[in-house]
Amino acid sequence: MGANARYPFTAVVGMDDLKLALLVNAVSPAVGGVLVRGEKGTAKSTVVRALAALLPELDAVAGCRFGCDPAAPDPECPDGPHPADAVPERRPARLVELPVGASEDRLVGSLDIERALTEGVKAFEPGLLAAAHRGVLYVDEVNLLHDHLVDLMLDAAAMGTSHVEREGVSVRHAARFLLVGTMNPEEGELRPQLLDRFGLTVEVAATRDPEQRAEVVRRRLEFETDPEAFAVRHATGERELARHILAARKRLPGVVLTDAALRQVTAVCAAFEVDGLRADIVTARTAMALAAWRDRAEVTAEDVRDAARLALPHRRRRDPFDAPGLDEDRLSEALSQAGEEDPRGPEDDPDGPGSPDGGGNGGDGAGPDGGADAPGSDSAPGSGAGDGPEAGGPGPGPAPSAEQGGPGEESDRRPAGGAGGERTSEAGETFRPRLFSVKGIGAGTPGRRSRAQTPFGRTSGARVPGERPGPVHLAATLRAAAPHQRARGRDGRGLVLRRGDLREAVREGREGNLVLFCVDASGSMAARQRMRAVKGAVLSLLLDAYQRRDKIGLVTFRGREARLDLPPTSSVEAGARRLRELRTGGRTPLAAGLLRSADVLRVERLRDPRRRPLLVVVTDGRATHGGVDEALRAGAWIGAQDVECVVVDCESGPVRLGLADRLASALGATRVRLEELGADALTGLVRGARTARGAA
């Protein structure tokens, strides 16, 4: 086995929910795959890689790059047509891994455009979707993939086919696979539309039980010391679990979803107010797969309960800030209202999850990273469920009204309600904010904020390709070749093309930016509850950044210093959590906040030079520590660094000092008042101005 040895599935300790979700998909790939959410170091990848070894071997047409089944070959296979007596070859199910940096061509395959144009040959090089056909497609850090690639992958998983359209040439091939994605929520969420396409979701976390943690470490060290001997010790359990998967697959077509069970499925989905009907379909398929796994002829209420716990958590969230998970009491109530619970409990059902063949409620799995055991091993896979958050943006809402605070307030006043005069304000209502973007055309990560040259979008021009040409710009290629036809001895049979004639398309779309919030948390901001409106505004901007696929960061300043509360990340949840915990009070070190922000931007520019920054300074402009002149000098220095800035002016009251306006001028920034930050408020201001001009 050597360095390529895989850790056995039955040797994984705990993680019963994850094991059950993977086994359900192994029994019924139609469930739609698994999204595994969890913190780093929880062995998500180890468990997924171990699953592939349990899948039954399959027959494939010898020499077919697309893995066609000789019993039912794909009639549109690019390597076909295959004869009825095609020679089969026996091979294990493949585990294909999609790396984070993969291109569209690597995923779906690519056409050799040069050969197509110069030789008239439709030469297609298969991608990872073709390699994963009838196997497992594993995507680690799926939330870091661009949405376009995730869309292509999920479309293929749902349709069972992959289409490649390139310059008028169309290729289609079968692509049916078990899709498994893993992600760390701290690095950002998937869009709700993409979350909904994953059949099941599971939330994993490292156990806090010292004994179980010790067993994880012990088994991992044993595996690393002698992988072959370790695998031999678990070989019996692996074989039995593989046989159980195959038997459950054969039982699945005979499982009956009774009307009573179907009513329970639909009642649960309606009770949790999930959008659309995909949740009902996935829950029904999962319940049937669970019944087959537990050797039952009919779906029971227990199967419906476990199916709902796996299929619904990531579909019920309306907002990225909603807590993940499913309310167990609400689930029980929905099941009981739809009909009587199944009278048999797990302890009374010989074929249920507590049986040797059934998938039980887990115990120890065994292994370095948690997992499930087969019949005959330390424990059987459990029936739990994960909690997967879904993200959604806020709907349009009213702009927050800044709380009135007089210009003469002392910025170092100590309001009551916290240690040392500090206090924490609740966030105000969120709303749809104005769009702020970075000027010019960038070349960063595809997103939805600023203009950029990206692999996706409208074609805006052509250029000479590099080593790996992108999509060909056909008209520009023909224009480049046309002047040379006489010299090349064109004989009337068509254009004579050379590699030097090729031109690739330049496409313009939108990019995601780094949005760094620099928030004033001093005493003047806390006066008269103004911070409530500020927090609501910043939360609204955070939601906007999430929807536009930006990275976010948070710098706050108060007292005598500024600090980085949230290093740049793609997790809007982390930003919202830090913002809600933000305490206010003390003096206003505005210059320190600006310089700390500049330092963060400098480091991030070194890490990711293609991602352009947008600095959002939220302040009333006062600078009671360090002075206004120092703050203006810091602002002017940042403005000279080619950083796009926005100043949200939080000053309020009938008399205003205009300090935030002076800061915006020094930064070369766009200035907007807090009460004008909402898109609806901006529309109202424009309409009001037009009405006034018309009346004049």
Residues acting as catalytic residues: 278
Sign of the four-CA dihedral 301, 48, 177, 151: positive
Cα(311)–Cα(313) distance, rounded to whole angstroms? 6
- C-alpha to C-alpha distances, 613 to 63, 382, 444, 519, 543, nearest whole angstrom: 50, 46, 11, 16, 17
Distance of CA 620 to the CA centre of its chain: 36
- Residue pair 359/293 in contact by the 8 Å Cβ criterion: yes
- C-alpha to C-alpha distances, 239 to 94, 261, 336, 628, nearest whole angstrom: 18, 33, 39, 73
- Of 391, 23, 27, 356, whose CA–CA distance to 195 is shortest? 391
Cα(532)–Cα(527) distance, rounded to whole angstroms? 10
3-state SS assignment for residue 237: helix
Burial 403-442 (b: 16+ CB within 10 A, else e): bebebebebbeebeeeeebbbebebbbbbbbbebbbeeeb
- Residue pair 360/381 in contact by the 8 Å Cβ criterion: yes
- Residue pair 370/12 in contact by the 8 Å Cβ criterion: yes
- Residue pair 308/331 in contact by the 8 Å Cβ criterion: yes
Helices (H), 551-678: 572-580, 590-607, 628-639, 659-667
Strand (E) positions, 425-560?
Answer: 446-463, 504-511, 514-520, 551-558
Write out the two tokens for 114. 């040069």
Cα(123)–Cα(105) distance, rounded to whole angstroms? 14
Q: Which residues touch 4 (CB under 8 Å, ≥6 apart)?
A: none
Write phi, then psi, for 10 (nearest 5 degrees). -80, 0
Cα(477)–Cα(505) distance, rounded to whole angstroms? 10
3-state SS assignment for residue 555: strand
- Residue pair 630/554 in contact by the 8 Å Cβ criterion: no
Strand (E) positions, 54-102?
Answer: 58-61, 88-91, 95-98
- Residue pair 136/98 in contact by the 8 Å Cβ criterion: no
List the beta bridge partners of residue 166: 169
3-state helix, strand, coil in the chain (%, to 5): 40, 20, 40
Task: Count the neighbouring beta carbons within 10 Å of the beta carbon of residue 363.
Answer: 15
Site of tokens 């139609």: 30
Q: At what angle do helices 659-667 and 628-639 cross, to 10 degrees?
A: 30
Q: Which residues touch 367 (CB under 8 Å, ≥6 apart)?
A: 7, 8, 11, 12, 13, 43, 46, 216, 219, 220, 223
Cα(429)–Cα(659) distance, rounded to whole angstroms? 26
